[in-house]
Amino acid sequence: MSGPSFRYVRAKGLANALSEGGRRGTAYLAGGTDLLPLWKAGLTTPQEVIDISGLELANISYDGNTLVLGALARLSDVSAHPEVKTHHPLICDAILASASGQVRNLATVGGNLLQRTRCPYFRDRALACNKRDPGSGCGARHGENRHAALFGGAAACVATHASDLAVALAALDAEIIVSSAAGERRLPLADLYPLPGASTAPDSSLAGGDMITAIRIHHAERFAPRSTYLKIRDRASFEFAVVSVAAALRIEDGVIAEARLAAGGVAPLPWRLGRSEAALIGRAATQQAFLAAAELAIVDASPLGGNAFKVPLLRNAIIRALQTIGAQS
Amino acid sequence: MPSRVLPVCHSRSEHPRAASMNTHTTRPREANDPMPEQRVALSTTINGARYDLMVSHTATLLDVIRDQLDLTGTKRGCDMGGCGACTVLIASRRIASCLALAASFSDAVVTTIEGVGTADHLHPLQAAFIRHDALQCGYCTPGQILSGIALLSEGPQSIEEIREGMSGNLCRCGAHANIVAAIAEVAGL
From residue A208, alpha-carbon distances to A30, A147, A191 in Å are: 16, 29, 16
Of all residues in chain B, the percent with pLDDT exceeding 90 is 80
Among B30, B80, B150, select the one facing A101 at the smallest CB separation: B150
The Cα B177–Cα B163 span in angstroms is 9
Q: What is the DSSP string of A306-327?
A: S-TTHHHHHHHHHHHHHHHHHH
Q: Say if residue B10's pLDDT is above 80.
A: no
What DSSP state is assigned to residue A168?
H
pLDDT band with cut points at 50, 70 and 90 for residue B37: confident
Q: Mean pLDDT over residues B13-30, rounded?
A: 40
Judge: A105–B90 Cβ closer than 8 Å, yes or no: yes
User: How many angstroms away from the CA of B133 is the closest CA of chain A?
Assistant: 24
**Domain boundary pick from A37, A54, A71:** A54
The Cα B127–Cα B145 span in angstroms is 10
Q: Which positions in chain A touch B100 (Cβ < 8 Å)?
A: 32, 36, 106
Residue A172 placed within a domain: no
User: B182 and B124 in contact (C-beta within 8 Å)?
Assistant: no
Judge: A51–B98 Cβ closer than 8 Å, yes or no: no
Residue A143 placed within a domain: no
Residue B13: what pLDDT?
Answer: 34
Q: Which of B30, B43, B54, B58 to mutate to test the interface with A (most CBs of A within 10 A)?
A: B58
User: How many angstroms away from the CA of A50 is the closest CA of chain B?
Assistant: 11
Q: pLDDT for A238-288, tens place per residue?
A: 999 999 999 999 999 999 999 999 999 999 999 999 999 999 999 999 999
Q: pLDDT for B157-172, tens place per residue?
A: 999 999 999 999 999 9
Tell the CATH topology of B124-187.
DNA polymerase; domain 1 (1.10.150)
Of B124, B114, B136, B110, which is closest to residue B183 (Cα–Cα)?
B124
User: A66 and A29 in contact (C-beta within 8 Å)?
Assistant: no
B100, closest residue in chain A (CA to CA): A32
Q: Which positions in chain B touch A237 (Cβ < 8 Å)?
A: 163-164, 167
Residue A329: what pLDDT?
Answer: 55
Residue B14: what pLDDT?
Answer: 36
Query: Residue B135: what residue type?
Result: L
User: How many angstroms away from the CA of A108 is the closest CA of chain B?
Assistant: 13
Residue A163 placed within a domain: no
Q: Which of B93, B104, B146 to mutate to test the interface with A (most CBs of A within 10 A)?
A: B104
User: How many angstroms away from the CA of A295 is the closest CA of chain B?
Assistant: 32
Which portions of chain A are predicted below pLDDT 70?
Answer: 1-2, 328-329
Q: Which positions in chain A touch B165 (Cβ < 8 Å)?
A: 101
Q: Which positions in chain B touch A49 (Cβ < 8 Å)?
A: 101
Q: Say if residue B4's pLDDT is above 50.
A: no
Same fold, B11-27+37-115 and B124-187: no
Residue A17: what pLDDT?
Answer: 98
Q: Say if residue B22's pLDDT is above 50.
A: no
Residue A111 placed within a domain: no
Among B80, B101, B151, select the one facing A29 at the smallest CB separation: B101
Judge: B94–A29 Cβ closer than 8 Å, yes or no: no
Residue B17: what pLDDT?
Answer: 36
Q: Where are the domains of chain B?
A: 11-27+37-115, 124-187
Residue A115 placed within a domain: no
Sign, CA dihedral A288-A290-A293-A297, equals negative
Residues of chain B contacting A, Cβ within 8 Å: 24, 27-30, 33, 35, 37-38, 40, 57-58, 60, 79-82, 84, 87, 90, 93-96, 98-101, 103-104, 147, 150-151, 154, 163-165, 167-169
Residue B19: what pLDDT?
Answer: 35
Which CATH number belongs to the domain containing residue A35 in this structure? Answer: 3.30.43.10
CATH fit for domain B11-27+37-115, picks 3.40.50.2300, 3.10.20.30, 3.40.50.300, 3.30.420.40: 3.10.20.30
Q: Which residue range forms the structural domain that includes residue A45?
A: 7-54
Q: pLDDT for B97-112, tens place per residue?
A: 999 999 999 999 999 9
Residue A2 placed within a domain: no
Which CATH number belongs to the domain containing residue A234 in this structure? Answer: 3.30.390.50
Reduce the DSSP state of residue B47 to 3 states and report it: coil
B115 contacts: CB under 8 Å, gap ≥ 6: B46, B47, B48
Q: Which positions in chain A touch B93 (Cβ < 8 Å)?
A: 76, 105
